[in-house]
Structure 1
Amino acid sequence: MAKIIVTSILVDDQDRALLFYRDKLGFEVKHDMPMGRHRWLTLTSPGDEDGVELLLEPDEHPAAKSWKSALIADGIPCTMFGVDDVFAEHDRLAGLGVAFTQPPTVMGPVTTAVLEDGCGNLIQIVQRH
């Protein structure tokens, strides 16, 4: 049986992405290795060093920028992260200057909010009830 070990987010600047995903969202660096002009830069959830790695992957493939632009234009997040309390996380992140395109919204068994990562992506945070 296969399992997810690495998933990617296409970013336009790895340094800016690292500052956002580490310093604002709270992920922890797992690997930061030079690979030519870029890096193999992965993060994990706090306290879950052996968990799924989030790869901050440069968006240099010719299709990447148009794909990202299409998602943004339609308001579609490229991924979602779980949080314990969407309202509290919204307030904390907004206090750090993070822009939201959707405030916390209760949707039946979940509460969601959508934010901009500053690297060309929308990210949804989700709390299950």
Structure 2
Amino acid sequence: MTISLQYTNITVSDVDEALAFYRDALGLEVQQDVASGGHRWVTLGSDAQPGLGIVLSDPHAGRSQADGDVMQELLAKGVLPMLVFSSDDLDATFEKVQASGAEVLQEPMDQGWGPRDCAFRDPAGNTVRISQAS
């Protein structure tokens, strides 16, 4: 038996703003863009990890009004789980993402526990860390 991650979801306040970050700044490719009931689910991926999709959607997409409201509050507080990407060239990736206007939380630095990484906020306030691939 094998098991692997197929999709992960990122809640964002504005899918188009998030696309500018995840597609244009990070270089992920749009695989699907599905609209239904006034909401959108945009799946992005990378040739580096075929079969893994990152799905962007707003807080109310696929949720009840009450649950969507709670997700919106958590998103506004910036407390939703962070994403961690890896790059084979952290400095070049940092420069590209910084040039996009993304909010820098941490410039590239060596961490005491091992990796060299940096951190940004996406347009919705989610924390995105990028570490140097080993």
Task: Say which SS state the counterpart of residue 63 (structure 1) adopts.
Answer: helix
Give the letter aligned to residue 85 of structure 1: D
CA deviation after TM superposition for structure 1 residue 70, in Å: 5.0
CA deviation after TM superposition for structure 1 residue 67, in Å: 2.7
Unmatched 5+ stretches in structure 2: 61-67
Alignment deviations for residues 53-75 of structure 1 (CA, whole Å, 9 cap, x no partner): 00002123222133331528xxx
Residue aligning to 1:116: 121
CA deviation after TM superposition for structure 1 residue 26, in Å: 0.6
CA deviation after TM superposition for structure 1 residue 51, in Å: 2.2
What's the % identity of the aligned pairs?
31
Residue aligning to 1:71: 79
Residue aligning to 2:3: 2
Task: Say which SS state the counterpart of residue 41 (structure 2) adopts.
Answer: strand
CA deviation after TM superposition for structure 1 residue 96, in Å: 2.4
CA deviation after TM superposition for structure 1 residue 23, in Å: 1.1
The answer on 1:98 being equivalent to 2:105 is: no
Give the letter aligned to residue 63 of structure 1: V
Residue aligning to 1:42: 43
CA deviation after TM superposition for structure 1 residue 48, in Å: 4.9
Task: Say which SS state the counterpart of residue 4 (structure 1) adopts.
Answer: coil
Task: Say which SS state the counterpart of residue 73 (structure 2) adopts.
Answer: helix
2: CA distance between counterparts of 1:27 and 1:71? 24
2: CA distance between counterparts of 1:15 and 1:128? 28
> Given that residues 78 and 125 in structure 2 are in contact (C-alpha distance below 8 angstroms), is that contact kept between their aligned partners in structure 1?
no
2: CA distance between counterparts of 1:111 and 1:51? 27
Aligned pair count reads: 124
TM-score, normalised via structure 1 length: 0.84
1: CA distance between counterparts of 2:105 and 2:23? 21
> Given that residues 33 and 40 in structure 2 are in contact (C-alpha distance below 8 angstroms), is that contact kept between their aligned partners in structure 1?
yes
- RMSD over aligned CA atoms reads 2.0
2: CA distance between counterparts of 1:56 and 1:82? 19
1: CA distance between counterparts of 2:87 and 2:23? 15
TM-score, normalised via structure 2 length: 0.81
